C-alpha cells in the first residue's frame, strides 16, 4: 500500500501538471504583452463567401490595430463545423479565434446536435458580433404576384404547387422560409440545393419559383428584373432595397426580424482582458466609415455587439431556431 504522504504528493503533482497550461494562459505578464505573436483567425468556410469576406476585412484591420499579424485561415467542411471544432479545442490564449457564421452555427447546433463535437454556448466565449446580412423573399416573374399579400393568397389557392429553393436543409435561407410558411399556414414544397449558386440559377430559370435568399446573392437579379423582391426579413427597411417593405409591413406578422449574423468567438476560458482588448479594438474598427463601406459592398451591415450582448444574441438565435426546427419538423441532410 502506498504511503499517504507519497499518494498525496502524487495527486498534487498530477494536479499541477493538469493546471499548468491554465496558469500559463492566465499569466499576467503574458496577458499584458498580448499579442506578441501572430493570431490565427479561422474561417470555417471556403474563400469567397460572406464569412470569408468579413473575416479578411477584420483580419486586415486588426493586424493594423494590434500591430501584430492576424492571419485568415480557411478550414472549410461539414457546414462550418470542422473549423468551429478546431477552434473550440484550441488553447484559450487569444491566438486562435473563430470568424463565425453565428446564425448557421446556431442552426447546426440544433439540427446536427447528435453529430457535432462542440457546444456553441459552452465551448466558446464571444468577442463580439460584427455584422449582419439581410435576407429577401424573391419570386420568379412567372409567378403572378406583385407583392407579399398576393403571394400569400396565391400560395393558399395553390397548396403544394409553389416550390421554394434553398442552399441546404439547415441553411438560414431554408429556415427563414420554414418560419414564414409555418406562421402563415402555407403549403410550400422545399427543393434543396448544394449551395446558393445552383439554387439561384434554377430560380432565375424558373425551375423553382420562390426563395428566401441573402440580399448580396439576390441583388443583381432583382435589379435586372430577373427576380421580383417581395419583402426583406429585417425589422426595418434596408438601404440596398429601400423600396422593398419588411415582412412585418407586408404581412402584419409581428416582430419578424431574421438576419444572417457574423461574429468572432474565442475558446472558452480565454482571459477576460484579452477578450476586452479584442472587442474594444473591433468596436473602433467598425466605427470607421471606410470599413463600413467595405462591409456594405459585400452586403454586410455593421452591427457591433459587446461580448455580453453577443452571448445573449447567440442564446436567442439558439432558442429561435430550435423552435422552428421542431415546429416544421426539419431533418438534417
CA distance 179 to 186: 10
Cell readout for 121 is: 454556448
Say what the pLDDT of residue 206 is.
Answer: 96
Spatial CA neighbour of 91 closest among 154, 13, 26, 33: 26
Local confidence band at 169 (pLDDT 50, 70, 90 cut-offs): confident
To 10 degrees, what angle do helices 307-327 and 272-286 make? 90
Closest CA to 206 of 134, 138, 136: 138
pLDDT band at 301 (very low <50, low <70, confident <90, very high): very high
Across 139-148, average pLDDT? 97
- pLDDT, mean of residues 98-109: 94
Q: What is the rounded CA–CA span in Å between residue 6 and residue 20? A: 21
B/e letters for 104-131, b = 16+ CB within 10 Å, e = fewer, are bbbbbbbbbeeebebebeebbbbbbbbb
pLDDT for the residue 333: 64
Residue 168 confidence (pLDDT): 77
Which whole number is the average pLDDT over 125-143? 97
Lowest mean pLDDT among 23-37, 53-67, 108-122: 23-37
Angle subtended at Cα 323 by Cα 216 and Cα 169, rounded to the nearest 5 degrees: 50
Map residue 285 onto helix, strand or coil: helix
pLDDT band (50, 70, 90) for residue 27: low
Which tens digits make up the pLDDT trace of 190-235? 998 888 889 999 999 999 999 999 999 999 999 999 999 999 999 9
C-beta neighbour count of 157 within 10 angstroms: 8
pTM, two decimal places: 0.86
Q: Do the beta carbons of residue 127 and residue 97 sit within 8 Å?
A: yes
Q: What digits encode the pLDDT tens for the residues 62-84?
A: 999 999 999 999 998 888 899 99
Average pLDDT, the chain: 90
Share of the chain above pLDDT 90, in %: 77
pLDDT at 18 over 80: no
Amino acid at each position: 500500500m502506498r504511503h499517504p504522504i507519497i499518494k498525496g504528493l502524487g495527486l498534487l503533482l498530477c494536479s499541477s501538471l493538469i493546471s499548468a497550461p491554465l496558469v500559463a494562459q492566465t499569466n499576467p505578464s503574458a496577458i499584458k504583452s498580448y499579442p506578441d505573436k501572430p493570431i490565427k483567425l479561422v474561417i470555417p468556410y471556403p474563400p469567397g463567401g460572406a464569412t470569408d469576406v468579413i473575416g479578411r476585412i477584420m483580419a486586415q484591420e486588426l493586424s493594423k490595430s494590434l500591430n501584430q499579424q492576424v492571419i485568415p485561415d480557411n478550414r472549410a467542411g461539414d457546414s462550418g463545423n470542422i473549423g468551429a471544432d478546431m477552434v473550440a479545442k484550441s488553447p484559450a490564449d487569444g491566438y486562435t479565434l473563430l470568424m463565425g457564421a453565428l446564425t448557421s452555427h446556431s442552426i447546426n447546433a440544433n439540427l446536427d446536435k447528435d453529430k457535432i463535437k462542440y457546444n456553441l454556448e459552452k465551448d466558446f466565449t464571444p468577442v463580439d458580433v460584427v455584422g449582419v446580412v439581410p435576407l429577401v423573399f424573391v419570386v420568379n416573374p412567372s409567378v403572378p404576384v406583385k407583392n407579399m399579400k398576393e403571394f400569400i393568397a396565391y400560395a393558399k389557392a395553390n397548396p403544394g404547387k409553389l416550390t421554394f429553393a434553398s442552399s441546404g436543409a439547415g441553411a438560414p435561407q431554408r429556415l427563414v422560409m420554414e418560419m414564414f410558411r409555418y406562421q402563415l399556414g402555407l403549403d410550400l414544397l422545399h427543393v434543396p440545393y448544394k449551395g446558393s449558386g445552383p439554387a439561384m440559377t434554377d430560380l432565375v430559370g424558373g425551375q423553382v419559383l420562390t426563395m428566401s435568399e441573402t440580399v448580396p446573392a439576390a441583388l443583381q437579379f432583382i435589379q435586372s428584373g430577373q427576380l421580383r423582391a417581395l419583402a426583406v426579413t429585417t425589422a426595418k427597411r434596408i438601404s440596398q432595397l429601400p423600396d422593398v417593405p419588411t415582412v412585418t409591413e407586408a404581412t402584419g406578422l409581428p416582430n419578424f426580424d431574421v438576419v444572417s449574423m457574423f461574429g468572432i468567438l474565442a475558446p472558452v476560458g480565454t482571459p477576460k482582458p484579452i477578450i476586452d482588448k479584442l472587442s474594444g479594438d473591433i468596436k473602433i474598427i467598425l466605427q470607421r466609415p471606410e470599413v463600413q463601406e467595405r462591409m456594405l459592398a459585400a452586403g454586410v451591415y455593421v452591427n457591433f455587439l459587446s461580448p455580453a450582448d453577443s452571448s445573449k444574441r447567440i442564446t436567442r438565435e439558439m432558442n429561435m431556431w430550435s423552435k422552428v426546427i421542431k415546429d416544421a419538423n426539419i431533418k438534417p441532410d
